[in-house]
Amino acid sequence: MLKLDCFQAGKGDSFLLSWDEEGPHRLLIDAGNKSTYRYIKANIQNFDKEDAIIVTHVDYDHVGGFFKWLSDKQHPFSPSAIVYMNTPQLILAPSDSNLVGVEHGVKLEQLLLARGIKSLPIYINETNDDLIHIHGLNLLILSPRTEVIEKLVEKWTANEIYQEYENRRKQVDNKVATRDEPLMDIDKILSNQPLPHNWETDLLNATSVAFILEYQDNRLLFLGDANPKLICEELERRGHTKEKPLEVDLFKVSHHGSKHNTTQDLLERIKCSKYLISTDSSGPYYHPSRETLILISTFGRVSNEDQITIYSNYPLPLNKLLTLEEQETLNFNFQSVQNLKFPEE
C-alpha cells in the first residue's frame, strides 16, 4: 500500500509518500511555503535514515516549509535523512565564493550545512539508468537535464535569475488580477493553444525535478514545475509517443495547473485518467487555468467515454473555470482530497 498525503501549501507544493518495505518509510516531496509546516509537522516525526526528501527546485512556494522545519528545535531535522536537490553543485557553493545565488536556495543550503546535512544530486545522467532506489520505491528521473542546470549555473553566477524572478513577481503583484472575465470558448482555446515558456528564460522552473515513481504495481508521475517541452523530449527519448504513451495511475500536473506547463503533446504521451493539481486558486495567478482543464478534457482521456478525475488539495472554484453546461457534459469528477492510496481501496 502506498499512501500519498497532499498538504495544503497555498500556491505551492508539498506531498508525503508513505509505504512499508521491511519497515515504514516516507518520502517528502517539497515543503510548500512557511505556513505549510503546520500541516507537515505531525507527519515527519523522527524522520531518519529510513526516510528521504526531494527539493524539486528552490522557488519559495516549494522550500518555505523547510526553513520553518530547520528552525524547529522541538522537532529537529535529522542529518541521517536523505535529502535530494536538483542543483546541489550550485547550492553547495561556499559563502566566500564568487557565486551569487538565488536568495532562497542559498539560505536553505546554509541551514542544511549548519546541521551537518549534505544533499545528494538528482538529475538526468547522474546515475547510469537515471533511477534512484529508495527502500523498494523507484524514481525514474525525467528532469532536469545537465545542459539546463549548466545554463542555470551560468545565470546564477551573474545573479540574473533572482533579479528576473523578483521583477516578474513585482510586475504580477502590481496588476489587478481577476477571474471575472468571460470564459474563453473551448474552440478558441483549442485553435490557439497556450505555448510553454522558453526554458532558457524560465530556468528556475526548467530545472525542476520531475520523475516517474514506481512502487509495486503502481506508477505515479510527478512533474514539479517542469517545462512541458523538456519533459516531452525526455519521454520521446524513452519511447513514449502518442502511439505508445506512458501509462500512469496518477499525473501530478506541472506548476499548479498553469496553462504554460500542460500541452497537447505532453497529454498525448501520457495514458491516465486521474490528475492531481496542487493550488489554493488564489491570486495573482489563479491556478489552475481554464485552458489546462480544457486540454486535459480533450487530449488527456484514456478513451472518449472515460471519466477524468481531478484531485486537488483545495476545493476548486469550478464556476470560474467551467460553465454549468461544461461541468455537466465534460465528464469530470472533481474531488478535494487530503490523501490518496494506491491501489485504491
Domain residue ranges in the chain: 2-342
Set of cell numbers at residue 170: 513585482
What is the structure's pLDDT at 237?
Answer: 97
CA atoms within 13 A on the CB side of 220: 22
Residue 206: the pLDDT is 92
Helix ranges, 130-211 (H): 146-158, 160-173, 186-191, 203-206
* CATH topology assigned to domain 2-342: Metallo-beta-lactamase; Chain A (3.60.15)
* C-alpha cell of residue 5: 498525503
Q: How many residues does the chain have?
A: 345
CA 305, 253, 228, 86 torsion: positive or negative? Answer: negative
Nearest-CA neighbor of 91 among 122, 68, 61, 69? 122
Strand 218-222 to strand 250-252: parallel, antiparallel, or no bridges (unpaired)? parallel
β-bridge mates for residue 18, sequence order: 3, 26
pLDDT of res. 97? 40
* Whole-number Cα distances in Å, 132 to 51, 95, 269: 14, 30, 23
Low-confidence ranges of the chain (pLDDT < 50): 89-101, 172-177
Decide: helix, strand or coil at residue 322.
coil
Strand pairing partners for 82?
52
Omega before residue 315 within 30° of 0, cis = no
- What pTM value is reported for the model? 0.91
Neighbours of 291 (CB within 10 A): 22
In order of 5, 38, 81, 86, 252, the CA distances from 278 in angstroms are 12, 17, 25, 20, 8
Cα 230 from Cα 143, distance rounded (Å): 8
CB 307 within 8 A of CB 277: no
Is residue 37 classed as helix, strand or coil in its secondary structure?
Answer: helix
pLDDT tens readout for residues 204-243: 889 999 999 999 999 999 999 999 999 999 999 999 999 9
Question: 314 Cβ partners below 8 Å, 6+ apart?
Answer: 8, 279, 280, 281, 336
What cell does 17 get? 509518500
Contact 39, 70 (CB under 8 A): no
